[in-house]
Amino acid sequence: MIDADAAQVLTSEGWVRSRPVTPKDGSAMAGLRALVEPNKGQMRGPSARPAFDGIMLRVPAPEGVSFEAGVVGGIAGWWCWVADTTPGRAILHLHGGWYNWGTAHAFRHLVGHIAVRAGADAFIPDYRLAPEHPFPAAPHDVQACYRGLADMGHRVAVVGDSAGGGLALGLLPVLAAQAKAPVGAVALSPVTDLTLAGASWASRAAADPYFTKDQVKTLVDAYLAGHDPSDPLASPLYAELSGLPPIRLHVGDDEVLLDDSRVYVDRAVAAGVDATLDVWNGMPHGFLSGVGRVAAADHALAAIGAFLSERFEKGGS
């Protein structure tokens, strides 16, 4: 169902919702651009890890959530424990960072906001990063972590952002083939096509305040280490999508990754998957980190929480 505050559906199929930007959010994004665009495309390689983590560590901690280091399926990470939740429900959240950056510790507050709205505990694995551990180390780690949560008796929902969104969507066909599908999945600005063929790499090149195609290619090359970028485990856009659980995607309209979401959902719907995409106008990559300050972030988190809560109630594992 289309939310009351969504703009008109963009396609006749009804799977894309265009979310309007408020004047206040527009002003906030203008200020953000002025701050970050001088460094556009400059973050490259392992040396950028401290700066990237520093960005995520600025997300305010949510109320009603505690955090604890842990190990699931042999993979270290961080738990987000929700004070008021139903036992036996767990979110597997896969963090972003272009497969080269990011830590569970740095993402724990953002994931806590998702967890408390979904009414479920969450685990964030520290999957192995490139270039030290190229493909397929990261997909293998998230598969092990999912199995670990399932073996603990949890009904699991899979969530991921950016590169973690690509890992989340890449995990789904593997689980479907094993008849171990999660109750549902959410991907936030996911990386779905490592061939970098999406039209928005050109159409949103100026609008995106963070990334350039040249910069991203160096990160993707470090991750793939010569592997075929169209391998479905690396680029879920090219996977067999039939039989997947319900999926919700959220992306900013000012992202070079916009078409990674649009084309993926188009193909998923064509394959019979219950999939929808929310496009947040005026929003750049990672806008959910503005929780509490950016209305679009709060609205997106509310929609994600409602979807996950519904899937835990209705879905199976």
Instruction: State yes or no: pLDDT of 316 exceeds 90.
Output: no
- At 303, list the tokens: 């929609």
Percentage of the chain beyond pLDDT 70 is 95
The per-residue pLDDT for 84 is 84
Cα-based angle 189, 218, 128 (whole degrees, multiple of 5) = 65
Cβ distance 194 to 235 under 8 Å? Answer: yes
189 is catalytic: no
Instruction: State yes or no: pLDDT of 13 exceeds 90.
Output: no
The per-residue pLDDT for 181 is 93
The per-residue pLDDT for 12 is 35
* Amino acid type, 184: G
Instruction: State yes or no: pLDDT of 127 exceeds 70.
Output: yes
Instruction: State yes or no: pLDDT of 7 exceeds 60.
Output: no
Active-site pick, 93, 154, 162, 200: 162
240 is catalytic: no
The per-residue pLDDT for 72 is 98
Active-site pick, 95, 285, 299, 317: 285
Instruction: State yes or no: pLDDT of 22 exceeds 80.
Output: yes
Q: Assign 2 a pLDDT band (cuts: 50, 70, 90).
A: very low
12 is catalytic: no
Q: 134: closest CA among 236, 260, 212, 226?
A: 226
User: What CA–CA distance (Å, rounded) separates 136 from 104?
Assistant: 19
User: What CA–CA distance (Å, rounded) separates 132 from 272?
Assistant: 38
The per-residue pLDDT for 10 is 39
Instruction: State yes or no: pLDDT of 232 exceeds 90.
Output: yes
| Tens digit of each residue's pLDDT (9 = 90 or more) over 255-274 | 999 999 999 999 999 999 99
| Tens digit of each residue's pLDDT (9 = 90 or more) over 165-200 | 999 999 999 999 998 999 999 999 999 999 999 999
Instruction: State yes or no: pLDDT of 299 exceeds 90.
Output: yes
Q: Assign 6 a pLDDT band (cuts: 50, 70, 90).
A: very low
DSSP state of 238: G
Active-site pick, 95, 250, 255, 261: 255
Instruction: State yes or no: pLDDT of 202 exceeds 90.
Output: yes
Average pLDDT over residues 11-40: 87
Beta-carbon contacts of 148 under 8 Å, excluding residues fewer than 6 positions away, are 72, 73, 74, 75
The per-residue pLDDT for 86 is 87
